[in-house]
Structure 1
């Protein structure tokens, strides 16, 4: 019976994953797609963090591009590549000077159509040439820059070109960066050749296996909270306040800041991250125990974040708490408490939604006095991240996220599992409590007479 349950569990897992003939590998590689044709992937839903794109899903993305896009497909197939390569060797906050991918970043930003899939099953990436061969009806042609100059591509005739790119043979960081920069130059030169010939194309960059590059505590907000090379993700540095030694002591970053003042809704994102200068954070302060970040806007509007750093003997370490957020509009004020916003003092705090709106959870609680107009105000911040202590440079420390471990899906799985365990236990108990009749087996019992009729 136990073996049968194991078989059923494996079958159910394969059915959920959608691959009934193989087990999905735990290794993923990124896939970057772009095209000279516009609006190829506008209707495709974006992938969320942690999602692994399967071969079927990747095929759907490619099918939509091949149906309405160019039939000249170019695959840049690298030996090894991982998302960590982009976060470790890419430009920080849009700075391409120190990036190993200046051409690729420019291409992804300027292409009429682009799509980034950070985690794709490595098996799906390996069968890309075979899959596209069946779809286009042509065999893949392995080329380099010199042979590409001799080719004459036709818009009406499909073509499948494959450019192999190496990876660093050693484990050195500089060696890997140099090879990636050289590969980026090859990509730029090949695409310049196609552009000069006026050939429409759809291009892909992926790898045969992941490189698993690991960087050392490089957990900047640009690394953690953005889609790789995505043009629609804000590429601005965090707001920083410097102490008396002219070094950053408070960092703040967000995608969107919206303030609801009774019947007025104000979007403060542009005013916060447009490089307003020192006047934006005038009035802020920081020391070893308390930090206060003041954001000043026009018409006397202010948003103040109060943070404290205290040592708790139970945990044996210092913890940072976001005590409250105050909003002043020049005449009235509102106070929002954040009881769930706490983290070790060496970390930063991140939360997808820090909001007083009921639909986004009770992260912020309006604690304004009853007779104050501030009771009707609401503050909503998307992709909120802040650090008020132990700041080193303009990079956030490792983020302590507000998301709880027991999500609704986990609770549903636990309850369902417990229910099945209860049913199974009850059924086994019923089976084991069954007793056979002993009337005919007892020799001391009365015999049964069966009359015979003639």
Structure 2
């Protein structure tokens, strides 16, 4: 019995919150017979329709001011300095406020010939001519999201039409709520979509070499370098007969890039890079385990005089020597990244820790050297005399 009660309460709470998530506030004013309702009342569409029918009739001209989105939070939190954005609406003497009305616009049949839909521009211009008459309904769609200017437009339009037709009923509401209420509905968790990866360019020499990079650029060091594209890769015969050497050549309309690799003592190295017959040198040596690939977000080479440079962005490469085994070389091995194990921030932290340790140890040794008194002065006896030797 208790579990059934708890389940019923939970279902009621979920229903109330879900309904509230689609509700919008409504202001009604203009006719002296407008009924005051409790501030916490919640109206369904049918109940709101009955309320409007009781206030309007064949002799009533109805104005419906509609925002794209509006919630009770907008009415209470929108401020201009210390004053509310809805000053004119707040100064109305007789008005009804319904904080939660479910789809209030469904009350009005847009296909009815007595219902006219008009757009109100930000300067107050109407898209169509409006003639106030009994039984007519005009839905005025407000443009933009400036509540303060909309409050002034509503006041001006209402006073203008009220001067032409005395029995005018005004309604201020919105199409959708602007505030998302939390719900107790359990939703299925979905994995976030992966961020689209950049367009990587990949070149391979069968069972010999793989390189993948996002962008390659070349130019003067003191200027913006330009991107260079390649469309062909080849393994070339190096000048040395050493089987531990490998030379790879990338060709394209922008130039020719040559890599020279050396396999020595279980690791491979980049021993030379040449672009358009000009030698380039890396400031940090590339020396990687034989079965590892090399990855770097910015692999930058300079000429000896430092006037020219080439740059690989997000590059990963790996040479392969056929003597390593008969298995085909088709993908990268584990990546050895160009970022060092010890960064400047880590070194700074270690240096500061060492200073604090030194200061703390020095202070502790001083405190350990403090000696307590072994003789005390007796106020009734003879004064203690301490000689210089002591």
What's the TM-score, normalizing by structure 2?
A: 0.44
Task: Give the strand-richer structure, 1 or 2.
Answer: 2
Larger radius of gyration: 2
Task: Give the helix-richer structure, 1 or 2.
Answer: 1
